[in-house]
Amino acid sequence: MIDTQDKIPTSKVERAMKLMGAGAKIGGNYLKYYAKKTINSEHTKEELHENNAADIYQSLSQLKGSALKVAQMLSMDKNLLPRAYTDKFALSQYSAPPMSGPLVVRTFEKSVGKSPMTVFDRFETNCTAAASIGQVHKAEKDGKILAVKIQYPGIGNSIQSDLKMVKPVANAMFGLPEKEMQKYFQEVEEKLLEETNYTLELERSQEISLACSAIPDIFFPKYYPEFSSSKVLVMDWLEGEHLKEFLQKNPTQEVKNRVAQALWDFYNFQLHTQLAIHADPHPGNFLFQPDGRVGVIDFGCVKVVPEDFYYHYFPLLVPEIRNNQPVVDQLLNHIEILFPADSSEVKAELQKAFLEMTSLLSRPFESERFHFTNEFIDEIYAKGEEIYQIPEVKKPTQPRGSKHALYVNRTYFGIYSMMADLNAEIDTKSDLWSGKLVDYWKDR
């Protein structure tokens, strides 16, 4: 059971106050940090981050829906956030304050046209889990346990205003002026609005689970369009544990490798064959089973990768293309890492940094098998930190990076860190797709 929150901030003003509260507190934490530092130099920056994360989390956790989603989004982009932020935000992925029983019934009735009590043999009005824009209820029909996902009423309307309020906080965190971030926010906004459309989610869930049904060890719930609507989504209840609980039970490395392999294959198949990926790889969406199989739920956030972007971004992961300077130039300009107006020093510096990063990220693909360790992830962090020190990255004169990269990166960071959490050693052959990319660039 999840505690019912005493009071939900209602008005926009009140919600804004909440976030401003966080802003003020962060300021306070920095003051505290500097005050403590002057007295005790051992006071770590890590602790400061922890204090900040706690305050931001507290503020965000009282918001529902899209603000929570933004928190999730930021929390997944581990490369941009210190670890302390990430750990706190990971919490927000699990729980949000629930809707009352009558509202759940009401929303279901309005949307499906019948009361949940008549549709199902049994329906629990207490929610079992909170999703960020809705909540999940357990139901039973003809002996089958079902999961009924119900959306908070009016969530679509509040997303845009929520985002507007999160913007300043996010901008402060990334150190970028609002205007520069516009196209990225737009991408997030689009995705968030898509997530409120359960009809679309149903379609995609069915499509992807069909396309990926041949991948070993991955399984999906069955969906029930007849009881679903734009606000209600009904599927089989999947048993299984979230990654953290799964790991706490000390599964053998063999089982861990098996789940890791399943996830790895699942993502690479989606990306390189379907050009569309389940872009919400947060721990709540995977249900691990003791035998090494993984259930995947929640296709609310699917990033469709434009072909054009695909053929300009992923070739950088292939060493033989990465060593071809004219092609690399073309690629980096196309994905907006470099601009024609950049000075040659800036160009050289950015290109070097970016290629170093991609060669690090593509290391798993360069051998038949790869062992994902925490050291590997730390190396990525360190490289990210190093790149961040480049003046043009730290204080950019213009936004860099395609907006399409946002969800793709987030997804792969998520997968990499899951792989490391599993300490997985898996087959990472890339010949299935790298050949396609090499061919594409051969005659250009």
* Residue 316, SS3 per DSSP: helix
**Which residue, 104, 141, 145, 140, is CA-closest to 231?**
104
- What part of residues 227-266 is at the interface with other proteins (CB under 8 A)? none
> In 228-238, which positions are buried (b, 16+ CB within 10 angstroms) versus exposed (e)?
bbebbbbbbbb
Q: Residue 84 corresponds to which amino acid?
A: A
161 binds other proteins (CB under 8 A): no
The CA dihedral of 312, 316, 321, 326, to the nearest 10 degrees, is 60
How many angstroms separate the Cα of 444 from the Cα of each of 175, 340, 375? Answer: 38, 20, 38
Would you say 157 or 248 has its CB closer to other proteins?
157
Would you say 126 or 248 has its CB closer to other proteins?
126
Residue 276 host element (H or E) = strand 276-278
157 binds other proteins (CB under 8 A): yes
* Residue 131, SS3 per DSSP: strand
| Least CB distance to other proteins at residue 63 (A) | 14
Would you say 115 or 186 has its CB closer to other proteins?
115
Q: Residue 250 corresponds to which amino acid?
A: N
| Least CB distance to other proteins at residue 191 (A) | 20
| Least CB distance to other proteins at residue 153 (A) | 4
| Least CB distance to other proteins at residue 122 (A) | 12
Give the pairing type, strands 218-219 and 294-296: parallel
Would you say 117 or 361 has its CB closer to other proteins?
117
| Least CB distance to other proteins at residue 57 (A) | 23
Query: Per-residue x/- marks for other proteins, 405-424, CB under 8 A?
Result: --------------------
Rounded Cα gap, residues 149 and 132, in angstroms: 11
| Region binding other proteins by CB under 8 A among candidate stretches 3-11, 83-91, 334-342, 422-430 | 3-11
Query: Per-residue x/- marks for other proteins, 116-145, CB under 8 A?
Result: -x----------------------------
CB 156 within 8 A of CB 194: no
Rounded Cα gap, residues 149 and 9, in angstroms: 23
Residue 286 host element (H or E) = strand 286-288
| Least CB distance to other proteins at residue 102 (A) | 4
| Least CB distance to other proteins at residue 150 (A) | 12
110 binds other proteins (CB under 8 A): yes
* Residue 219, SS3 per DSSP: strand
Residue 294 host element (H or E) = strand 294-296
Rounded Cα gap, residues 28 and 13, in angstroms: 22
Would you say 109 or 425 has its CB closer to other proteins?
109
In sequence order, the 6+-apart residues with CB closer than 8 A to the CB of 34 are: none
**Strand partners for 288:** 241, 294
| Least CB distance to other proteins at residue 12 (A) | 12
| Least CB distance to other proteins at residue 104 (A) | 10
Q: Select from 28, 154, 290, 306 the one that contacts other proteins (CB under 8 A).
A: 154
348 binds other proteins (CB under 8 A): no
Would you say 105 or 259 has its CB closer to other proteins?
105
Would you say 64 or 272 has its CB closer to other proteins?
64
Query: Per-residue x/- marks for other proteins, 187-206, CB under 8 A?
Result: --------------------
Would you say 17 or 361 has its CB closer to other proteins?
17
- What part of residues 89-108 is at the interface with other proteins (CB under 8 A)? 99-103, 105-107
Strands (DSSP E) found in 86-195: 122-123, 129-131, 134-141, 144-151
Would you say 8 or 382 has its CB closer to other proteins?
8
CB 80 within 8 A of CB 174: yes
Rounded Cα gap, residues 318 and 362, in angstroms: 7
| Least CB distance to other proteins at residue 95 (A) | 18
Which two structure tokens, joined as six digits, stand for 84? 């302390």
- What part of residues 6-25 is at the interface with other proteins (CB under 8 A)? 6-8, 10
Would you say 99 or 163 has its CB closer to other proteins?
99
Q: Residue 56 corresponds to which amino acid?
A: I
Q: Select from 33, 89, 120, 152 the one that contacts other proteins (CB under 8 A).
A: 152
Rounded Cα gap, residues 93 and 285, in angstroms: 10
**How many chain residues touch other proteins (CB under 8 A)?**
18
Would you say 64 or 303 has its CB closer to other proteins?
64
Contact set with other proteins (CB under 8 A): 6-8, 10, 99-103, 105-107, 110, 117, 152-154, 157
